[in-house]
Structure 1
């Protein structure tokens, strides 16, 4: 099984999610714990990945 961080980055790059809340819900639905997802730098990095991925999938 992948770590929470690995899966978070995969989901962020997928283009299917637009917000951190959606990302967190998806992780929980897949059975991942959210304790590893902390800190403003990580959140900003995930937001940027989701934004870029969304542009490329539209």
Structure 2
């Protein structure tokens, strides 16, 4: 866990990485790294993360 980074920032990083095929797996990874999952909720945020996941997987 990077103390200078929020859970939301980390979730966006993980979504861009292309290593996580779903938002649920990103939530689990963020939690496993010691961040609170409570910031990673909501329809719009889920849509944004899903879009990043899809874009990252299209590049590979």
Query: TM (normalized to structure 2)?
Result: 0.88
Provide the residue aligned with 1:12 in structure 2: 15
Provide the residue aligned with 1:3 in structure 2: 6
**What is the aligned residue count?**
57
Question: Which structure 2 segments of 5+ residues have no match?
Answer: none
Q: How far did residue 23 of structure 1 move? A: 0.5
Q: How far did residue 55 of structure 1 move? A: 1.4
Provide the residue aligned with 2:36 in structure 1: 33
Question: Which structure 1 segments of 5+ residues have no match?
Answer: none
The two structures, once aligned, show a CA RMSD in angstroms of 0.8
What is the distance in 1 between the residues matched to 2:22 and 2:41? 15
Is 1:23 matched up with 2:19?
A: no
Provide the residue aligned with 1:44 in structure 2: 47
Tell me which stretches of 4 or more aligned residues in structure 1 moved more than 4 Å.
Answer: none
